[in-house]
């Protein structure tokens, strides 16, 4: 018989010191519960708070009844790390998934690294470390059981939390955890082969799904504390600062607790950390504290403020000209240069040059920006939805002049991030408000707050030029002009880098007072659409097959000779050919018009095909076929959700979404004036994964960038018109189906 009474004493630091978990650059924790026999946990569920826990190592805590808790340090933004990462460790630990429980960890820079949700890198960076975590713990438990039996560990096996020897005797993990915790952490522990997986690769529901659908507290907006009041902030338009304000009407309103300004501490902090002003205005801001969000926001709207111009308020019309002038100019930073494009263009038989344009976009997170803060002499208590907890805690530490150890930050589940919550300007504001008011406060943005004072996807223009000589693409020149910042280091090494002998990427930017930052799949979210539309038009110019052009270019790539190349031509070819097969490319009825794209970003290879049909004389996007090579798929259910979400995000924003500015203010402030994809417009998404057994790569972002290009190319097939400007509905005349000639 196996029991599950557990005690242990292996410290967190000794586990970290003796293991190789840090090798992957990310130490992840989880909540695995009940590493023991099936049926040990009975309904009703265990009261986790009542269990007597002992530390097993930096990640795993085991209770005296055998329940195992492994905390997940990474922020959960809907990308499913809170489910998929525990699946990885549970697989190697050999516990039954039904006995696994998961909780969110707090910020802990001493024991974990890269507590970040960004770049679609959580699973990729954590893959080896997480497997080693589970496998090492399992080996220690098996060794402890073998010692008790007086046999060699090689004679024992473990499955679903139960260890069995050659004689058929069994011990639960809970029976031996005390002895196991005293053992030295083993090195070079063998890991399972993909063919041996029991948990990974199986569709697994989100561990929070019951709480999500029943409205249990999970999100930042759900958090409450005793004595907490709500804050709403009146912020200046871009390029302006506060001169004065009249709050007499607001102070007389029901529920108002206090009204004051903040800004002194931020300005002092900005003197030593000037980059902070890239995400938050250093003007004074007017704060309303009230007993509810409605009362706080209503009072804020009653305040009469006078603003003064600091820098010229900017408008979209002005930005459009600035970006065009940058493309026409000669002041660029060259990000990659192969061969001699000047000579190649001079010798070309044919040249194609096109310009592509994209607008500002807000992040449109469903959960509004919010953060809790309570500043006391003992500590700074922060709670809320943030993708960069360590960086945000560092900013708050500097802002308030407090030691890093004083900052206690708890992460909640995030109701949409898409890059917006990489920037903790709302947490910084909350901390300054709490410090000045000496009250526990919850700062809450309205939708208008976030759209009027957001951190947006920057407006970008691309100009692409290609030269053709003797039926081959011999030159390629990509120019980028962007508001505030340009593509990061690796992007110039994505496809078609290495495929064209004479290849150059140049960038230029204009520094605006409008705050911008990462938006789901930064830069590639529009670049993919532009480049893939260009390749289709280039194939038409060359009078060659569109798919074959891409395959021929990939034949030229030799990554073994150029380590800067980021993608695999072989893996790219496989997703292309699979997409051709699965989509029925070129074999659809005459009323189905298709558009093809392939793209690499966030370490994954993707190909997509859009199907457009004509309904009532208008082109309608009916289906997107998406093929993804992201290596091993840990959780197919979550992976499919990520693929579909990325595709629909890409389709919707390329078709409909645009944020323009007039005199420093956005012209849309809520969803009545800002267009998103509607449910009736969402196409079917068919998803296929390449099963190659390779380590996982990114998945939260890679399917979004190609979607716009697939739609653009399909619309060209349906209407005969090329689309160069997003959103595509901005030029409705190009989306009209030409009238067919009437004969007779």
Tell me, what's the pLDDT at 9? 32
* pLDDT per position as a tens digit, 670-713: 999 999 999 999 999 999 999 999 999 999 999 999 999 999 99
Rounded to whole angstroms, how far apart are CA atoms 708 and 710? Answer: 5
Q: What is the per-residue pLDDT for 31?
A: 32
Which of 473, 620, 638, 591 minimizes the C-alpha distance to 539? 473
pLDDT tops 80 at residue 726: yes
Considering the chain, what is the average pLDDT of its residues?
Answer: 90
Is the bond preceding residue 41 a cis peptide, omega within 30 degrees? no
CA-to-CA dists, residue 309 to 198, 281, 665, angstroms: 63, 13, 13
Listed residue (642, 624, 637) closest to 697, CA to CA: 642
pTM (predicted TM-score): 0.90
| Per-residue pLDDT at 147 | 97
pLDDT above 90 for 182: no
Helix (H, G, I), strand (E, B) or coil at 606: strand
DSSP string, 407-471: EEEEEPB-S--TTGGGSTHHHHHHHHHHHHH-S-EEEE--HHHHHHS--BBPPEEEEEEEEEETT
pLDDT: is 656 or 61 the higher one? 656
pLDDT on residue 6: 31
Tens digit of pLDDT for each residue in 590-621? 999 999 999 999 999 999 999 999 999 899 99
Main-chain phi, psi angles of 559, to 5 degrees: -60, -25
CA-based nearest residue to 433, from 587, 556, 258, 551: 258
The mean pLDDT value for 344-369 works out to 97
**Span 128-145, average pLDDT:** 91
What's the rounded Cα separation, in Å, for the pair 481 and 510?
A: 8
Q: What angle do CA 478, 483, 485 make, to 5 degrees?
A: 75
Contact between 728 and 735 under an 8 Å Cβ cutoff? The reply is yes
Region 265-277: mean pLDDT is: 97
């Amino acid at each position: 018989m196996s029991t599950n009474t557990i005690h242990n004493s292996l410290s967190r630091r000794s586990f970290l010191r003796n293991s190789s978990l840090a090798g992957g650059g990310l130490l992840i924790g989880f909540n695995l519960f009940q590493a023991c026999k099936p049926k040990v946990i009975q309904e009703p569920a265990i009261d986790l708070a009542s269990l007597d826990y002992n530390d097993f190592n930096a990640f795993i805590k085991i209770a005296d009844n055998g329940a195992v808790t492994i905390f997940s340090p990474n922020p959960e933004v809907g990308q499913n790390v809170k489910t998929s990462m525990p699946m990885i460790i549970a697989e190697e630990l050999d516990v039954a998934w039904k006995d696994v429980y998961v909780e969110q960890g707090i910020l802990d820079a001493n024991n974990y690294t890269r507590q970040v949700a960004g770049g679609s890198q959580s699973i990729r960076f954590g893959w080896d470390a997480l497997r080693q975590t589970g496998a090492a713990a399992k080996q220690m438990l098996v060794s402890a059981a073998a010692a008790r039996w007086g046999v060699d560990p090689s004679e024992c096996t473990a499955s679903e939390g139960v260890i069995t020897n050659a004689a058929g005797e069994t011990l639960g993990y809970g029976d031996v955890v005390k002895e196991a915790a005293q053992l030295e952490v083993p090195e070079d522990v063998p890991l399972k082969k993909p063919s041996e997986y029991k948990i990974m690769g199986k569709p697994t529901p989100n561990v929070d799904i019951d709480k999500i659908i029943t409205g249990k507290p999970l999100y930042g907006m759900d958090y409450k504390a005793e004595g907490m009041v709500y804050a709403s902030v009146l912020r200046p338009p871009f390029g302006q600062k506060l001169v004065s304000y009249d709050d007499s009407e607001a102070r007389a309103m029901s529920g108002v607790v206090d009204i004051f300004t903040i800004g002194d501490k931020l300005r002092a902090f900005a003197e030593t950390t000037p980059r902070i002003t890239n995400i938050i205005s250093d003007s004074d801001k007017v704060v309303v504290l009230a007993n509810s969000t409605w009362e706080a926001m209503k009072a804020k709207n009653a305040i009469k403020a006078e603003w003064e111009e600091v820098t010229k308020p900017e408008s979209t019309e002005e930005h459009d000209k600035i970006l065009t002038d940058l493309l026409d100019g000669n002041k660029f930073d060259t990000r990659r240069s192969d061969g001699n494009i000047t000579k190649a263009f001079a010798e070309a038989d044919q040249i194609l040059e096109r310009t592509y344009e994209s607008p500002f976009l807000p992040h449109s997170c469903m959960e509004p920006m919010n953060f809790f803060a309570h500043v006391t002499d003992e500590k700074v208590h922060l709670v809320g939805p943030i993708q960069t907890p360590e960086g945000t805690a560092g900013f708050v530490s500097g802002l308030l002049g407090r030691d890093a150890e004083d900052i206690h930050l708890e992460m909640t589940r995030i109701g949409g991030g898409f890059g917006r919550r990489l920037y903790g300007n709302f947490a910084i504001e909350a901390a300054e408000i709490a410090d000045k008011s000496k009250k526990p406060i919850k700062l809450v943005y309205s939708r208008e707050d976030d759209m009027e004072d957001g951190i947006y996807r920057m407006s970008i223009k691309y100009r692409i030029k290609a030269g053709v000589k003797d039926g081959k693409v011999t030159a390629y020149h990509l120019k980028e002009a962007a508001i505030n910042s340009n593509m990061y280091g690796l992007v110039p090494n994505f496809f078609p880098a290495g495929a064209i002998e004479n290849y150059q990427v140049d960038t230029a930017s204009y520094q605006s007072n409008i705050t911008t930052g990462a938006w789901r799949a930064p830069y590639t979210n529009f670049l993919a659409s532009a480049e893939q539309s260009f390749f289709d038009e280039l194939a038409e110019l060359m009078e060659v097959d569109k798919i074959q052009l891409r395959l021929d270019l990939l034949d030229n790539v030799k990554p073994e000779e150029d380590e800067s190349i980021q993608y695999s031509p072989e893996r790219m070819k496989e997703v292309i050919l699979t997409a051709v097969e699965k989509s029925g490319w070129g074999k659809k009825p005459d009323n189905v018009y298709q558009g093809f794209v392939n793209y690499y970003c966030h370490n994954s290879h993707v190909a997509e095909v859009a199907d457009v049909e004509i309904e009532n004389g208008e082109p309608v996007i009916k289906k997107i076929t998406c093929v993804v090579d992201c290596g091993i798929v840990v959780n197919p259910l979550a992976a499919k959700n990520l693929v579909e979400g990325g595709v629909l995000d890409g389709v919707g924003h390329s078709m409909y979404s645009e944020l323009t500015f007039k005199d420093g203010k956005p012209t849309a402030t809520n969803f009545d004036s800002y267009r998103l994809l509607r449910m009736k417009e969402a196409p079917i998404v068919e998803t296929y994964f390449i099963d190659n057994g390779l380590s996982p790569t990114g998945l939260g972002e890679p399917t979004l960038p190609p979607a716009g290009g697939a739609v653009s190319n399909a619309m060209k097939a349906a209407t005969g018109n090329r689309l160069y400007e997003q959103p595509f509905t901005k030029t409705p005349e190009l989306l009209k189906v030409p009238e067919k000639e009437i004969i007779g």
